[in-house]
Amino acid sequence: MVRTEPLPPELRAQNLEIEEIARSAGLDFFQVIFELLDARDVNALAAYTGFPVRYPSWRFGMEFERLDKGYSWGLSKIYELVINNDPTYAYLVRSNSQMEQKLVMAHVYGHADFFKNNIWFQPTERQMVSVMADNGVRVRRYIDTYGQETVERFLDMALALDDMIDPYLPLREHRKRKAPVKRRATPLERARRSLDATFAGRSRPEPEKEPNREAPSPERPAADLLGFLMEAADLPEWQRDILHIVRSEAYYFVPQRMTKIINEGWASFWHSRIMTRSLLGASDVVDFADCHSGATASQPGQLNPYKLGIELFRYAEEKGMDLFRLRAVHNDVSFIDAVIDEEFARRSNLFLYQRNPRSGRMEIADRDWRPIKAQLLSSLTGGGVPQIELVDADHEGRGELCLRHHFDGRELQLDQAGETLKQVARIWKRPCHLLTQAEGSPLRLSTDGEEISRVETAEAAEDAAEGGDDRLAG
């Protein structure tokens, strides 16, 4: 059980001072509630993505072990957690120094302002703590009814697909909404409206049709595969509800995936400004510089969102851009596209690198800012997750699903893709196929939920007829 406690008087006074400074600087946020925890409890909260009221899963326990070992061995340290909610909840680590607590509070107010005002967060559920608690209660009831092993097995299948949603769907729906809804819609009603928008008016199938029913087919490619399975798969209602729970929580986290750089950059920009202009005493300067530089340090070959984000905001300010508008209308891709230019790339010493086939060493391949920017944008599209969509729900007239990977030069990890495709087939209860590319050639992965076949699609039918596909163990 995670035990939290309110702030002691000294931290409460610091919080009031920092809040006043943040508001006077133009930041706007919901009420922020800070609570104090031990480092181990912060790791436990982080393992549950900040929501200790979530449903039970071995995945959360495994994540806790990873975080706790990293902290024990000095490899990682969590300074704070902040939750997009109204009110906004933030957790401070009891062992942090007074200077670190001030820095973290200033950082949190930057995040809180971003959550409230960035357009990508506008469709999110602002009472997610309550929603998570309700979801946890429902899953525990299913465990009591159907058994832990049965529920966890299906929950694992659903969680394996939590990236297979349309990251742009909530914002599209939010923009279409012309008038406020008089009655607050339930999460299930919102999920069904999202799916209806995705499939452009096609009627939903009845939940209890026979397994050999005619499969519904989207009129256009659908990226919300999880929503499609929730509505169209032949499932008992408790499994359909678990898909709904996983999908709704996945959509809640999508904006954080889409705005990692700009969100952390905004929070880092403001903690730096508030600390250096208003809060730092002479005795705190060295400790602040050490803590701030540690958070914004760059490792060779790795992108640090704190570092890139804060430098982009500083450069944008230097160019006279409206920082508050930038934080309101952009995600990572559009922010980088709007701000990075040749001068920024030169100052930041950005470059592309690749492995030299002769020496086997990683070497600089290009310093031209245009391909550097293009590759950075490509890597962040869709939140950095491969873009896969459903293109046919009745493949070759057999009720099988056909998915397509939007190939952008980066190949899928085929073993992982095959395992994920297995989960789709097990939920759909019919074979499923995925079209992609590997080593420059079109490839089709197919599975019945047990075995996976890989077939080069140019002569897929002939190869399959001749039995020439490569069978992998299930």
- Boundary residue ending a domain (383, 413, 445): 383
In a domain, 201, yes or no: yes
Note whether 238 and 337 are same-domain residues.
no
In a domain, 443, yes or no: yes
Note whether 273 and 372 are same-domain residues.
yes
- Number of structural domains found in the chain: 3
Note whether 254 and 141 are same-domain residues.
yes
In a domain, 36, yes or no: no
In a domain, 103, yes or no: no
In a domain, 404, yes or no: yes
Note whether 240 and 298 are same-domain residues.
no
- Nearest C-alpha neighbor of 265 from the set 193, 317, 198: 317
Q: Round to whole Å and give the CA distance between 419 and 447.
A: 9
- Boundary residue ending a domain (360, 383, 406): 383
pLDDT for the residue 185: 60
Structure tokens at 76: 């990682």
- Nearest C-alpha neighbor of 13 from the set 98, 111, 95, 107: 98
In a domain, 122, yes or no: no
* Secondary structure (3-state) at 218: coil
Domain that holds residue 308: 259-383
In a domain, 272, yes or no: yes
Q: Strand 352-355 to strand 388-395: parallel, antiparallel, or no bridges (unpaired)?
A: unpaired
Note whether 401 and 376 are same-domain residues.
no
Please provide the size of the chain in residues.
Answer: 474
Contact 124, 255 (CB under 8 A): yes
- Nearest C-alpha neighbor of 187 from the set 121, 110, 264, 245: 245
* Secondary structure (3-state) at 306: helix
Contact 126, 86 (CB under 8 A): yes
Q: Would you write out the chain's pLDDT as a tens digit for each of its 474 residues? A: 556 677 899 999 999 999 999 999 999 999 999 999 998 888 888 888 889 889 888 888 888 888 878 777 766 677 788 999 999 999 999 989 899 999 999 999 999 999 999 999 999 999 999 999 999 999 999 999 999 999 999 999 999 999 999 999 998 888 887 545 555 565 555 555 655 554 444 444 443 343 444 445 554 568 999 999 999 999 999 999 999 999 999 999 999 999 999 999 999 999 999 999 998 888 888 888 888 888 888 776 678 899 999 999 999 999 999 999 999 999 999 999 999 999 998 888 877 777 777 777 776 667 778 888 988 898 898 888 899 999 999 998 999 999 999 888 888 999 999 999 999 999 999 999 999 998 888 999 999 999 999 998 764 434 333 333 332 332
List, in sequence order, every residue forming a beta bridge with 435; answer none if it has no partner. Answer: 404, 444
Give the DSSP per-residue string, 124-186. Answer: S-TTHHHHHHHHHHHHHHHHHHH-HHHHHHHHHHHHTTTT-S-TTHHHHHHHH--S--SSPPP
Note whether 372 and 271 are same-domain residues.
yes
The DSSP symbol for 277 reads: I
Note whether 241 and 142 are same-domain residues.
yes
Note whether 334 and 405 are same-domain residues.
no
This prediction has a pTM of 0.83
- Residue linked to tokens 């058994």: 147
* Secondary structure (3-state) at 288: helix
For 74, other C-beta atoms within 10 Å of its C-beta total 7
Q: How far apart are the first and last CA of the chain?
A: 38
Contact 29, 83 (CB under 8 A): no
The DSSP symbol for 279 reads: I
pLDDT for the residue 221: 60
In a domain, 117, yes or no: no
Note whether 370 and 446 are same-domain residues.
no
Note whether 224 and 275 are same-domain residues.
no
Q: Which residues contact 125 (CB under 8 A, 6 or more apart)?
A: 131, 187, 248, 252
Question: Rg of the chain over CA atoms, in angstroms?
Answer: 24
- Nearest C-alpha neighbor of 333 from the set 299, 314, 308: 308
Note whether 394 and 343 are same-domain residues.
no
Is the omega angle on the peptide bond into residue 357 within 30 degrees of 0, that is, cis?
no
Contact 353, 367 (CB under 8 A): no
Is the omega angle on the peptide bond into residue 180 within 30 degrees of 0, that is, cis?
no
Note whether 290 and 305 are same-domain residues.
yes
CA 363 to chain centre: 31
pLDDT for the residue 121: 97
pLDDT for the residue 184: 59
Structure tokens at 449: 């939920």
Q: Strand 352-355 to strand 362-366: parallel, antiparallel, or no bridges (unpaired)?
A: antiparallel
Contact 353, 301 (CB under 8 A): yes
* Secondary structure (3-state) at 205: coil
pLDDT digits (tens, 9 = 90+) for 394-413: 998 999 999 999 888 888 99
Contact 68, 40 (CB under 8 A): yes
Q: Round to whole Å and give the CA distance between 311 and 306.
A: 9
- Boundary residue ending a domain (368, 383, 398): 383
- Residue linked to tokens 């949603």: 165
Identity at 384, one-letter amino acid code: G
pLDDT for the residue 361: 78
